[in-house]
Amino acid sequence: RERHRAGRRRRVRVLVGSVIVTTVVIRVLLAERQLPHEFLEESAWSAETTVPRYNPLNKVPALQLDDGECLYDSRVIAEYLDAISGGRFLPSEARARARVHCREALGDGIADAIEHAGNSCLQGGGVAVYQPDHVIHVAHMVGDATAAP
């Protein structure tokens, strides 16, 4: 398990997956703001997972505050970390802030579609089953994302 401490503020515990896209923003915010934290690398899919203790949806990232309360969903965690560290990560103007949240939602949707496509490809005892409709769906989402203002 990777552990990192920084700063003098109260430390938070962050459950992250090593290859999960949604944890990258959380890692960047913690590093940029030098917020004291402890990383716990977890896989929601392992038999020994502790993720449900922190997130009832059994997903990472999750953030445990020093009093034991847990926050989950990368957008919720990012907004919380931004608020406690000066509030400069997200724009304050309503339309600009909404655009950021739309792009976050789009990114999360693309990540979910990729995960779903990957899971669909591994059916029947680990035999890869190619699902062209999933690839087309992800390609359309990415195309829509690159066309967004």
40 forms bridges with which residues in the sheet? 15
pLDDT band at 94 (very low <50, low <70, confident <90, very high): very high
Mean pLDDT of 72-99: 89
Using the predicted structure, report yes or no on whether residue 105 has a pLDDT greater than 90. no
Assess contact for 64 and 25: CB atoms under 8 A.
no
What's the confidence (pLDDT) of residue 22?
72
- Rounded Cα distance, 36 and 2, in Å: 14
* Overall pTM > 0.85: no
Q: Which of 17-21, 87-91, 100-104 has the lowest mean pLDDT?
A: 17-21
Using the predicted structure, report yes or no on whether residue 20 has a pLDDT greater than 80. no
pLDDT band at 77 (very low <50, low <70, confident <90, very high): very high
Q: How many helices (H) and strands (E) does the chain have?
A: 5, 6
* Residue linked to tokens 């029947």: 124
Burial of 57 (0-12, 13-18, 19+ CB in 10 A): exposed
Using the predicted structure, report yes or no on whether residue 109 has a pLDDT greater than 90. no
What's the confidence (pLDDT) of residue 141?
54
For 22-35, write each residue's pLDDT tens digit: 788 888 889 988 99
Pairing of strands 37-41, 12-16: parallel
**For residue 97, what are its two tokens?**
């802030």
What's the confidence (pLDDT) of residue 117?
64
Q: Which of 36-45, 75-84, 130-139 has the lowest mean pLDDT?
A: 130-139
